[in-house]
């Protein structure tokens, strides 16, 4: 019955599938035409330096460049009439890509003057571009964040919902966040499970398995676990009910068939903790190894795990604990009392395991492989938990009080879930679901049923915005303060507005520029602003891609999962420092500091850094190559192949994410890199990656793009595929010198960083464009580029501070405006004064 009611209520989601993606380019002012003298002067420059490759004659000769841009077909006196094409020209000029390397260029002042003139013509004729963003569904990350704020419930959204599509570099783009009948079913199922979890109803036993990554190394302390421990796992687990839970600990095994657990050091002590408090100290018995009788600790009989799959029949350790419902930190770790591995005569690799097996000839600590949590047994309904305290803001003392209390609870939940004050119609509808659940059981079951309905409501799943009365189709309008608050919180926090933001918006004050700026600055200082580092920077800089990186272990045995996670965290903390300290965004390219822990410091060769905690360090002359994004392991590893470096990928990444210019995709049937060469004596010799690339780009349709990308990548060849510093490649000295596409000669990472700094203005525009895309939840089109340039110019007046870009975006018309396209069947509540 409950599922039928929820499904009926949720089918309205499907009715919102009519997406609105209107594109209104705006009418260009025909009166604003450049003076003939100015236009003629710029035309002369183009004719002199550009027409060789971009003219009717070049097109007739089959030149691809002329097919894309033909200046003989463009009227420079009316730039705004061909704005899309001229914006492409400006982008290429800004990035220094026209004319190409080796072709005669105008002097620097003439070059910059042409760019400034074209931009001025485009900007002075521009019309604000405010297309409707369409129906904006919460993505999976936002869904989890909202539940954390709404219910104080930490969930893994991947357990409930499928992954979201990504376009324009981000997964919060409205046009890509569609819905299907399958997704609707997933929302209904998730709502039932999450509402039951939040209420803390007595749950039936279930199994959750946590696995360590295949390339783990557990020789180090894990942040969050007690000092004096090493390895293991720290698990944040939501226990659904008060009760008993069985914890099964299984080691990593030597190989896929061996019953012996990984590691040979005897008498290891396994500490099991709950919320930082020790609950057991055990003799490690993983893999069937019985410790000597004098090891101390408490011995737990090794038993067969009884699980299916790869651990079938293998030995594990089991203990049973009692705990309350809610989020708890379960730690499983080893006491750091033995130093046997460092006594080996052979130096250890940083990675212990190779395809889950030990490297022969070395001594290793044992490793935890999986932790299984089963339960609850003897379950009871939770009496207290963070989620229950968040939900039950009142308690009925008599049956007569129940309806009033339920209405208060539901009104509060709906207000926060729908991101606007709940009105009587909202609450009345939800009270029907409460009554249905209450008739079947008790008060808390009614609240659970109403909560499940809230979590399937389109006003929760979609960011639906109110339209003012009497607005006509195709007209733009300013969004309400309540909707502006929602746009702002999802931009900066990836979640719903907090109480202060709702209060200010409810008073109609948020549209005041002074108040809006105060709120933005407050929000950027809030801990929730870390979402910008994790979600925005995590996608723009491809930090999420690190999880899929897997260098070949036999070639790179010093790469492991702790290093992978440290590389990701380093860049997140660097970006977060730009946000919180309100620094110049170009510091991302040149910052002389970084954030590292012991594992990453060893990889970078930075001495005297100990422990798992990240700390800020200044990069001196000895570590100059690690300054800025181009020296960070996260960038260098995600742009490499599993077996080698990739100068092409590294060059393309810099062109796209720093200079804002994406080279085209490679043509079909590109041959593989050349095999080993033979020297004069007939001996096989492996060429360096640079030599391979130079020999590879022989096709005429490859040379043009590779001549732009490859030199950038060559300057980083001192970094191998896992970002370690090297001076030789396959026995050949590394040559990091290169001439980039604008003719500048650079040498190594330092030379690359210095050259990129000359394009700092272009980089600020790229950051502005990426932030605008992320903030609006739609792609930035050529009509938006005048706004992007305006944001960058205004930021330059304020030292290119991060807050200047953010404030420029939130005060812009596209962020504060919307356009009515057609009637929808569902409208949010319309509040007076908003």
Place of tokens 């999976």: 140
CA distances to 133, 426, 437, 444 from 418, rounded to whole Å, are 19, 10, 22, 22
> Does domain 206-380 match CATH 2.60.120?
yes
Rounded Cα distance, 202 and 797, in Å: 59
Query: Is the model more confident about 47 or about 313?
Result: 47
Angle at which helix 443-454 crosses helix 424-440, to 10 degrees, equals 130
Taking only the tens place, the pLDDT of each residue in 95-147 is 888 887 778 889 889 999 999 999 999 999 898 898 877 789 999 999 999 99
CA distances to 318, 369, 767 from 81, rounded to whole Å, are 74, 64, 27
Q: Which two tokens stand for residue 610?
A: 């100990």
Rounded Cα distance, 709 and 705, in Å: 6
Q: Which two tokens stand for residue 360?
A: 């022969």
State CA 152 to chain mean position distance: 22
Would you list the DSSP string of 541-570? TT-GGGGG----TTT-TT--HHHHHHHHHH
* Range with the poorest average pLDDT among 346-350, 468-472, 482-486, 640-644: 346-350
Q: Which two tokens stand for residue 443?
A: 């008060």
Enumerate residues 6+ apart whose C-beta is below 8 A from 652: 662, 663, 709
The model carries a pTM of 0.89
Q: Which of 233, 230, 232 is nearest to 219 (CA)?
A: 230
Taking only the tens place, the pLDDT of each residue in 152-188 is 999 999 999 999 998 999 999 999 998 889 999 999 9
Band of the pLDDT at 23, cuts 50, 70, 90? Answer: very low
What's the CA angle centered on 131, arms 21 and 766, to 5 degrees? Answer: 105
Q: Which of 146, 171, 167 is nearest to 157 (CA)?
A: 146
Q: What is the DSSP letter of 377?
A: E
N residues, the chain: 834
Please list the residues that pair with 235 across neighbouring strands.
330
Would you list the DSSP string of 439-465? HHS-HHHHHHHHHHHHTT-HHHHB---
Boundaries of every domain in the chain: 37-124, 206-380, 534-757
Rg (CA), the chain: 30
Residues 405-428 have a mean pLDDT of 95
Cβ density class 376-397: b for 16+ within 10 Å, e for less:
beebebbeebebbebbbeeeee
Band of the pLDDT at 28, cuts 50, 70, 90? Answer: very low
Rounded Cα distance, 802 and 584, in Å: 6
Burial class (CB in 10 A: 0-12, 13-18, 19+), 633: buried
Query: Is the model more confident about 682 or about 246?
Result: 246
pLDDT given for residue 671 in this prediction: 64
**Helix (H, G, I), strand (E, B), or coil: what is residue 234?**
strand
Band of the pLDDT at 299, cuts 50, 70, 90? Answer: low
pLDDT given for residue 303 in this prediction: 47
Q: Which two tokens stand for residue 259?
A: 């019953």
């Amino acid at each position: 019955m409950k599922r039928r009611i929820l499904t009926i209520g949720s089918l309205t989601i499907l009715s919102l599938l009519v997406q609105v993606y209107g594109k209104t380019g705006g009418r260009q002012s025909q009166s604003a035409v450049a003076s003939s003298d100015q236009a003629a002067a710029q035309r002369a420059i183009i004719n002199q330096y550009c027409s060789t490759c971009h003219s009717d004659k070049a097109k007739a000769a089959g030149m691809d460049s002329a097919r894309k841009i033909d200046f003989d077909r463009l009227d420079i006196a009316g730039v705004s009439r061909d704005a899309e094409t001229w914006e492409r020209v400006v982008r290429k000029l800004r990035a220094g890509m026209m004319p190409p390397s080796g072709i005669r260029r105008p002097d620097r002042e003439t070059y910059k003057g042409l760019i400034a003139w074209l931009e001025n013509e485009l900007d002075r004729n521009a019309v604000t571009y405010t297309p409707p963003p369409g129906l904006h569904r919460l993505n999976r990350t936002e869904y989890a964040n909202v539940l954390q704020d709404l219910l104080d419930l930490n969930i893994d959204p991947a357990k409930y919902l499928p992954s979201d599509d990504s376009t324009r570099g981000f997964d919060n783009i409205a046009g890509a966040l569609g819905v299907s009948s399958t997704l609707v079913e997933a929302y209904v199922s998730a709502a039932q499970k999450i509402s039951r979890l939040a209420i803390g109803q007595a749950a039936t036993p279930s199994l959750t398995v946590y696995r360590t990554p295949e390339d783990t190394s557990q020789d180090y302390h894990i942040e969050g676990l007690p000092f004096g421990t090493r390895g293991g796992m720290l698990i944040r687990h939501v226990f659904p009910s008060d009760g008993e839970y069985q914890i099964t600990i299984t080691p990593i095994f030597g190989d896929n068939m061996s019953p012996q657990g990984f590691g040979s050091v005897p008498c290891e002590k396994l500490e099991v903790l709950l919320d930082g408090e020790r609950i057991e100290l055990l003799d490690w018995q993983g893999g069937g190894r019985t410790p000597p009788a004098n090891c101390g600790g408490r011995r737990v009989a090794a038993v067969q795990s009884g699980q299916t799959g790869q651990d079938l029949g293998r030995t594990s350790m089991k203990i049973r604990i009692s705990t309350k419902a809610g989020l708890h930190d379960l730690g499983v770790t080893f006491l750091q009392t033995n130093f046997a591995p460092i006594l080996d005569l052979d130096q250890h690799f940083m990675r212990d395991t190779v395809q889950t097996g030990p490297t022969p000839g070395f001594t290793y600590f044992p490793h935890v492989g999986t932790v299984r949590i089963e339960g609850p047994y003897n379950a009871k309904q939770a009496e207290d938990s963070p989620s229950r305290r968040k939900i039950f803001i009142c308690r009925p003392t008599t049956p007569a009080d129940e309806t009033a209390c339920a209405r208060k609870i539901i009104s509060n939940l709906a207000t926060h879930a729908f991101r606007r004050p709940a009105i009587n119609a909202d609450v009345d509808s939800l009270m029907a679901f409460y009554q249905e659940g209450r008739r079947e059981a008790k008060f808390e079951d009614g609240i659970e049923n109403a909560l499940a309905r809230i979590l399937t409501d389109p006003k929760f799943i979609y960011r639906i915005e109110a339209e003012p009365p009497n607005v006509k189709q195709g007209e733009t309008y300013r969004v309400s303060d309540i909707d502006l608050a929602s746009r702002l919180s999802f931009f900066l926090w990836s979640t719903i507005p907090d109480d202060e933001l709702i209060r200010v918006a409810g008073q109609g004050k948020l549209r005041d520029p002074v108040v809006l700026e105060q709120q933005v600055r407050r929000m950027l200082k809030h801990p929730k602003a870390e979402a910008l580092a994790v979600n925005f920077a995590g996608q723009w800089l491809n930090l999420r891609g690190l999880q899929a990186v897997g260098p070949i272990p036999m070639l790179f045995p010093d790469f492991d999962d702790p290093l992978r996670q440290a590389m990701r965290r380093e860049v997140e903390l660097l970006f977060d420092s730009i946000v919180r300290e309100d620094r110049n965004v170009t510091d991302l390219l040149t910052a002389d500091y970084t954030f590292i822990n012991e594992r990453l410091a060893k990889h970078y060769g930075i001495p005297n850094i100990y422990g798992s905690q990240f700390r800020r360090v200044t990069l001196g002359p000895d570590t100059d190559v690690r300054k800025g994004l181009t020296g960070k392991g996260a960038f260098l590893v995600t742009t490499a192949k599993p077996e080698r470096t990739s100068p092409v990928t590294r060059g393309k990444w810099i062109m796209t994410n720093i200079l804002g210019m994406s080279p085209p995709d490679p043509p079909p049937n590109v041959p593989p890199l050349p095999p080993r060469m033979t020297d004069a004596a007939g001996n096989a010799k492996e060429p360096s990656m640079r030599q391979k690339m130079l020999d590879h780009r022989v096709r005429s349709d490859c040379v043009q793009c590779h001549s732009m990308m490859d030199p950038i990548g060559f300057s980083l060849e001192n970094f191998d595929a896992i970002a370690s510093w090297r001076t030789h490649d396959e026995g050949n000295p590394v040559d990091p010198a290169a001439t980039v596409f604008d003719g500048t000669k650079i040498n190594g990472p330092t030379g690359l960083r210095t050259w990129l700094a000359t394009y700092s203005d272009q980089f600020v525009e790229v950051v502005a464009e990426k932030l605008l895309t992320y903030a609006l939840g739609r792609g930035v089109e050529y009509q938006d580029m005048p706004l992007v340039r305006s944001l960058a110019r205004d930021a330059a007046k304020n030292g290119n501070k991060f807050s200047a870009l953010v404030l420029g975006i939130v005060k812009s018309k596209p962020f504060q405006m919307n356009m009515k396209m057609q009637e929808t069947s569902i409208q949010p509540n319309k509040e007076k004064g908003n």
